[in-house]
Structure 1
Amino acid sequence: MARLFTRLAAIFLAVGLFFTSQSLAAPQRAEAADPGYLMLHFTGEGSGGQQMYLAHSADGLRWNDLNGGAPILRSTIGTKGVRDPALVRSPDGSKYWIIATDLCISCGQSWSDSINNGSRNIVVWESTDLVSWSEPWLLNVAGAIPDGRNAWAPEAIWNPATNDYVLYWSTNVPLDGRTKHRIFYARTSDFRSITTPQIYIDRPGTQELIDTQIVEVPDGVGNYRYVRASGDGQITLEGSNSILGTWTALGNLLGIGVTGTQGPGNTVEGPMWMKFRDRNEWALYLDQYATGRGYMPVTTTNPSATGTYQLPASGSYSMGVNKKRHGSILNLTAAEETRVLARYANTPAQRLQSFNFQDRYVRHANFDVLIDQNVTSDDAKFRLRPGLAGTGTVSFESVNNPGYFLRHANYDFQLVRNDGTAQFAADATFRKVAGLADSTWSSFQSYNHPDRYIRHYAYKLRLDPITTATGRGDATFRVTN
C-alpha cells in the first residue's frame, strides 16, 4: 500500500509539474506570437534619403528594414522630398494617413531657403490597408499664418473631445528679425481641409521649437492622460488631461545626459514615442542628429516622470542597416502585420535580360517600357513580387518608383501606379514559365490573356501571341542581378 501511495504521489506530482510548466510556457508563446511594431522614417539628406522608409520590429528594440531597405513611397509633388513623417491610424482602423514635411535638402533647396521661404504645405498619402497608398496631395497648413515661412514636422492625434484630429506642426514666424519656430495646430477630419491655424506651443523670447509628439497614457500611470515631448533646445516634457487644454511643464531629460543645442552631450531631436504592448513601459526614441547616428531609445515606466527615464544599455537595441531619423511608430495588429510583411518583403532588386539581344535589359523611361543597352540604373531594376491577382504568379514592381508596376493596356506596356482595382491586378500579373527559346531562361505568360506573353518588338515591350522562332526569342528573358 505504501508503494501504491508513493507511485500515486509521483504521478500527481508529474501531472502538477506538467500543468505548471504549461502555465509558465503559455505566456511566452503568446508573447512571441504577438504582432510587432512598424516604424515609418526618412534616412537623411538628398533626394533618396528624404523619402518614406519602413522598418519592423518584433520587440520594439531590434529593427529590420523592409522593402530591401528601399523607399516604400516617393514624393512626386512639391519639393519632391519628404521628411519627418507621421503615420496616423483612424480610431476604427479603416483608414491610414502618412503626413510629412515637404522638404528636400541638398536636392534643390538649402536650409536657408526652407527656413525663410519654404513650402507652407505638408505632403499627405491615404490608405485603407496600410500597403496600397493613394497618390500624394499637398495640404496647405501654414499659408494662413501671418508671415509664416514654412511648415515642418507634422503630427496628428485623434481628439475624442472634438471627434476629429488635432494636426500640429512647426512654422517659422520671425521675431524681431530673427528666426522663431513655434508649434501651430488646426483640426481636421480628412487631412484635406483644416480649421484656421492657432498657436499651440510658443516658448518665451527667442527660444525655438520644431519637433513635438504626443503620447496617450493609460489610467493608473502618472497624473496625466497625455504627455508630449518637444525638441526645444533640449527634450522638454509636458502633461495634460486634454489635448487642447492646459499643459503643465514636467521637466526635461538633461538629468540622464540627453541634451540639445544649448549644452554638451548627446544632441538630439525628433522625439518619437512607442508603447511596449506587453508591459507598462515606453520607449522615447531620440534622433542623434548632431552625431549623425540616427535614433536611439530611452525607456520609462511613467512618461510624465522625468526621473524614470533611462539611457539604453549597450547592445540592448539595434536599428538595422538604414539610418532612422524623425518618424513615427505604430503598434500593429496581427492582420496589419501580415499585410505589411507580405507587401514589403525584402525581395531583391533584379533585372530582366533579353535573350536575343543580351546587351539589353528591360527598363522604364518616362513610364514607357522597352529594352535598352547595358542599363544598370534603377530604371532597369524590379522586384518580382507575388502576383497581385493570383497565387503562383509574379508582378514586377519598379525599384525607383515604389508602388508602380509593369502593366499592359491594349497589349502595350507602361509603368503604372497600382490603383488597387481587380483590373489593374490582372493586367500586372504573369506566370513565370520555362523560356520559350531556352528552358534555362524564363518567359512570362499573361494572367488574364494566357495566349499572350511579354515580348519586345522594335525594342518596345508588348503582350503578344508567340507563334514564330523570332517571337520565342523576343519573349525569353533571364532574371539576373
Structure 2
Amino acid sequence: MRYSACLLALLPFALSSPIQQSLDFSSLAPRADPSLTGYLGVFFLGDAPSVYFYLSNGNNAASLTSLNKNQPVINPTKGSKGVRDPSIIPGGGADAGNKWYIIGTDLNIAKTNWDAAQRTGSRGIFVWESSDLVSWTGERLVQVEEATAGMVWAPAAIWDAEKGQYLVHWASKFFAASDTQHKGSPSPTRIRYAHTKDFKTFSAPQDYINKSPTEIIDLDIFQLGGNQSYARFMKNETAKTVFTEISTNGLFGTWTRPGGNSAIIASGVEGPAVYWDNQVAGKAHLILDFYEIDGYRPYESTDVKGGRWTASDRGGWPKNLRHGSVMPINATQGSVLSAKWK
C-alpha cells in the first residue's frame, strides 16, 4: 500500500539519434540514485495500532532498526484511536521533496471484532502530513466511501501524473442500499479509488479492481521505468496469496499477470509493499506480511516485470513488523530522523 513514483530518477539518455529515439523507455530499468542513502519504514506492530518508525542500517534495504526506542511516533486521537496499515506517501507535483503524507486504516480491533469491522467499520482514512519527516501534523479522519460500504481498509496512494493528483486506493465490501444496518450478505471485497490534491477533498469513489467472486485487498502500485509502466501487488483474500500484475499503458491500462492467472509470489501473506533499491539499477524490494508467523519478511527482484522474486537475507530484518511501507531517503533526511527519534 505504498508509492515510489516521486523517487524515480530520470533515465540518463538524450534523444539525439534515430537509434535512441527508437528506444522503448518503458522497458528500461530505473537507474540507481546516489543521492539516496537509506530507507525509512513505517509500520504498526501486532495489536499495537500506532505508527512506528524504522531506519535502515546504512543503505541496506533489508536491514532496519527501530526509532524512538521502539515507541510509536504517531498515536491517533480520532475515530477508533487505532491506525493500521500506515503508508508513507511522498509529495507529487509541486509538493515533490517538500511534503509527505502518512495515511492508514481507522481500526482498533481491541474495541471491536473482525465481523463488525467489515460490516460497520470506518469509512474514512487517517491522514497526517509533514514538511520534514519529523513533525507530523494535521491529523484528520476523512470519509472517502459511501454509506453502502462496510469498511475502508489499507489505503495507499500514488501520484497520477496524467491527472496531476494523487490516486488513493483502498479495499471495501458493500451491502444492499436497503440493508442500512449491514446485516445481510456483503459483496466480495474489491479495490476502490478516488483522486485528491491535498488528502482533504476526494473525488467520488469508483471501482478500480473488481475480481468478484474473488476477494481482493491490500493493493500497492509501483511505477516502473517509464511514465506508463507500472506493477501492482495485491492479496487474493480468498486464497490467501499475493500476486502481481503489470501495465505498460498507464494506471488505467490493461493489466496482465506474469506467469499466468494462477501465478503467485507467496501464500499465507498480505500487505505487499515495494520500493526500489538505492544502489543497484533495476533492483526492487518487496516486503510481505506473514501475518500468522512473524510479520514482514523481505524479498528482492531484478525482474519485476517478469514477476520473479526471491527471499532476501533476513539477518538485519526485525520480526513482528506489520502491514506498512518503506521509502528511500537521502542523507539529510536520515540524519534529521536519527537526531529526533534516536
Short-chain TM bin: 0.7 to 0.9
Answer yes or no: is 1:184 the counterpart of 2:192: yes
Q: Name the structure 1 match of 2:10.
A: none
Amino acid at match of 1:242: G
Measure, in 2, the Cα distance between the counterparts of 1:256 and 1:245: 21
TM-score (normalizing by structure 2): 0.80
Residue number in structure 2 paired with 1:310? 310
Report if the CA contact (8 A) 2:232-2:244 is conserved: yes
Q: Which residue of 2 aligns with 1:110?
A: 113
Contact 1:237 1:251 in 2 (8 A): no
Secondary structure of 1:136's counterpart equals: strand
CA 1:33/1:172 → structure 2, altered by over 3 Å: closer, same or farther? closer
The structure with the largest helix share of the pair is 1
- CA shift in 2, pair 1:337/1:97, >3 Å: same
Partner amino acid, structure 2, of 1:217: L
Q: Secondary structure, in 3 states, of the residue corresponding to 1:51?
A: strand
Decide whether aligned partners of structure 1 residues 253 and 195 sit closer, same or farther in structure 2, where only a CA change above 3 A counts: same
Alignment match, 2:283: 281
Specify whether residues 82 and 258 from structure 1 end up closer, same or farther in structure 2 by C-alpha distance, changes over 3 A only: same
Q: Is the 8 A contact 2:104 2:125 kept in 1?
A: yes
- Code of the aligned partner of 2:235: G
Residue 142 of structure 2 aligns with an amino acid whose one-letter code is: L
Q: Deviations over 1:317-366 (max 9, x none)?
A: 4323x621111111002221121111111xxxxxxxxxxxxxxxxxxxxx
Which runs of 5 or more structure 2 residues have no equivalent in the other structure?
Answer: 1-32, 177-183
Question: Would you say the 8 A contact 1:174–1:180 is kept in 2?
Answer: no
Kindly report the root-mean-square deviation, in angstroms, between the aligned alpha carbons of the 2 structures: 2.4
Q: Residue in 2 aligned with 1:329? A: 326
Aligned-pair CA distance for 1:277:
0.8
The 1:190–1:257 alpha-carbon spacing in structure 2 relative to 1, beyond 3 Å, is closer
Q: Identity of aligned pairs, percent?
A: 32
Q: CA separation of 1:270/1:197 partners in 2, compared to 1, >3 Å: closer, same or farther?
A: same
Q: Which amino acid aligns with 1:324?
A: L
Report the counterpart of residue 231 of structure 2 in structure 1. 227
**Separation of aligned partners in 2, 1:257 and 1:236:** 5
After TM superposition, the score normalised by the length of structure 1 is: 0.58
Alpha-carbon contact 1:238-1:251 (below 8 Å) kept: no
Amino acid at match of 1:38: L
Closer/same/farther in 2, CA of residues 272 and 254 from structure 1, 3 Å limit: farther
Please give the alpha-carbon distance, in whole angstroms, between the structure 2 residues aligned to 1:333 and 1:70: 23
**2:122 aligned partner:** 119
- Displaced runs of 4+ in structure 1, greater than 3 A? 31-34, 251-257
Q: 1:393-430: CA deviations, max 9, x gaps?
A: xxxxxxxxxxxxxxxxxxxxxxxxxxxxxxxxxxxxxx
Structure 1's 184 and 256: CA in aligned 2 closer, same or farther, altered over 3 A?
closer
How many residues are matched? 294
User: Which structure would you say has the larger Rg?
Assistant: 1
Partner residue, 1:208 = 215
- For the pair 1:344 / 2:325, whether they are aligned, the reply is no
**Is residue 235–residue 253 contact of structure 1 (8 Å, CA) maintained in 2?**
no
Amino acid at match of 2:52: Y
1:96 and 2:100 are equivalent in the alignment: yes
User: Following TM superposition, by how much is the alpha carbon of 1:62 offset from its aligned partner in structure 2, in angstroms?
Assistant: 1.0
3-state secondary structure, aligned to 2:109: coil
Q: Give the Cα separation in 1 of the matches to 2:321 and 2:73.
A: 14
